[in-house]
Amino acid sequence: MKARRLPQEKIVLEVVENLQEIIWAKIASGVKGFIKTFIENLLREELSHKLGASRYERTSSRRGYRNGHYMRDLLTRFGPIERIEVPRMDRGGMGFSVFDRYERRRRDVDCAIGRLFLNGVSTRKLKGIVKEIYGQEVSAQTVSSTLASLDKELERFKDKPIDDTVEFLFLDGISQKVREIGIEKKVMLCAFAIYHKRPQEDNRHREILSFQLTEVEDEASWRGFLSDLKGRGLHGKSLKLIITDGNPALLKAIKSIYPFIKGQRCMAHKMRNVAVKIRKVNRPHCLREAKLIFQADSRKEAIRRFKSWETRWFIEEERAVRCMRKDLFSCLHYYDLDKELWKSIRTTNILERSFREMRRRTRPMNNFFTNEASANRIMHGITDMLNNNWKDNAL
């Protein structure tokens, strides 16, 4: 039961909150004043350097003269700084390193705008948030052009070499909606890896290696995606398992690109497929017994449990039993590896969790992207954030 606050406590909390607001308002005001003075001093120093002479100095090395100043505003994380004095040269065309003369938003503000958008804030809400944070409205077009600057980062990510130390490769596709002529359904192919950074290292690391937006999840698309991974360095010398949901097109593509790597069929997907084939009256009991197959301590025991389950349920639930029997061997490859790895490598859950994060962050945008370029930018932003979160968190 939640404890009730006494009236005195509420008053204290309100006073503290008001005090915090006043303090932060004072800090922001003071910082803005300091930044304004600092920038104006930098501008005057830079102008003196470019002219080759300080104010009122007479020298033969002078390269021009001052010609008054103009006012401009600068948007910062502390709010807009208004009426900054920007000096002019008599010849014009003076550009300052402090800020580009055509720039109205500093890079840190651009970055903040982009990150807010990537964190699942819709363009409409973003405009309001930016106005609240910075005291100045930013248009939807500004948001889009800001995100366009992420395209170069995306190219670098797509071309980044892959160390051939990947032990476990997880492959799956997530359905995405993109607005083109109406709302079109597309598929984002994803590759997730567990690997050692160094050969003798005990800890394993995880990373999303790549993604690709495609029209359909067919063999040709997967083959192209896997060929790109191989071309970037993933030849499979350390690869022990490729974990998938059992998509037939994907399995054919894997056989084409990595023919000698074992394929682990996702146990969770297998159980879902079996579940839908069991009659409702038998489902709880039958499924409970089926799950015991994958909880066995060895492959031999898992097969024994399957045979026992098969005998028990074949007459009543033949469709479910046939479904379980099909590709069962490929669901048991994890038994070849150390027991502490089993939970991580027998399903695609580790990739599904990343997909849930992607869906959460696209939900405020009505779960669809405005175009393919936007989908790729946002997907890269989410991927970059997840990879950075995992960088120092070994498995």
Per-position pLDDT tens, the chain of length 395: 444 544 555 544 454 444 444 444 544 555 566 567 767 776 777 788 778 777 767 777 777 787 888 888 877 666 777 888 888 887 766 666 656 543 545 555 555 555 555 555 566 666 666 565 555 565 565 555 555 566 778 888 999 999 999 999 999 998 888 876 667 888 999 999 999 877 667 788 999 999 999 999 999 999 999 999 999 999 999 999 999 999 999 999 999 999 999 999 999 999 999 999 999 999 999 999 999 999 999 999 999 999 999 999 999 999 999 999 999 999 999 999 999 999 999 999 888 887 787 777 666 556 677 778 777 877 887 788 788 888 877 77
Q: How buried is 251 (Cβ within 10 angstroms: 0-12 exposed, 13-18 middle, 19+ buried)?
A: buried
Residue 214: predicted pLDDT: 93
Q: Which domain holds residue 333?
A: 267-346
Q: Based on C-alpha coordinates, what's the Rg of the chain?
A: 30
Q: What is the pLDDT of residue 100?
A: 56
| Listed residues 306, 325, 346: the one ending a domain | 346
Residue 207 forms part of a structural domain: no
**Confidence at residue 23, expressed as pLDDT on a 0 to 100 scale:** 43
User: Is 36 buried (19+), middle (13-18) or exposed (0-12) by CB count in 10 A?
Assistant: middle
For residues 138 and 130, the answer to whether their CB atoms sit within 8 Å is yes
- Token code pair at residue 194: 């567990």
Determine the pLDDT at residue 58. 76
- Whole-number Å distance between alpha carbons of 175 and 186: 6
Examine residue 395 and state whether it is found in any structural domain, yes or no: no
pLDDT for position 152: 76
Give how many domains the chain has, as a whole number. 2
User: Does some domain include residue 359?
Assistant: no
How far is Cα 317 from Cα 363, in angstroms, rounded to an integer? Answer: 39
**pLDDT value, residue 30:** 52
Q: Are 266 and 194 in contact (CB under 8 A)?
A: no
Q: For residue 95, tell me if it sits in a domain.
A: yes
Task: Please choose, from the candidates 337, 384, 388, 369, the residue with its C-alpha nearest in 3D space to the C-alpha of residue 156.
Answer: 384
Contact 376, 208 (CB under 8 A): no
Predicted pLDDT of residue 15: 47
Residue 2: inside a domain: no
| Residue 92 counted as domain residue | yes
- Which of these, 157, 111, 175, 198, lies nearest to 386 by C-alpha position? 157
Please report the pLDDT score of residue 78 as a whole number. 62
Q: Evaluate whether residue 330 is within a structural domain.
A: yes
26 within domain boundaries: no
Q: How far apart are CA 115 and CA 378, in angstroms?
A: 10
Task: For 374-385, give one letter per residue: b (16+ CB within 10 A) or e.
Answer: bbbbbbbbbbbe
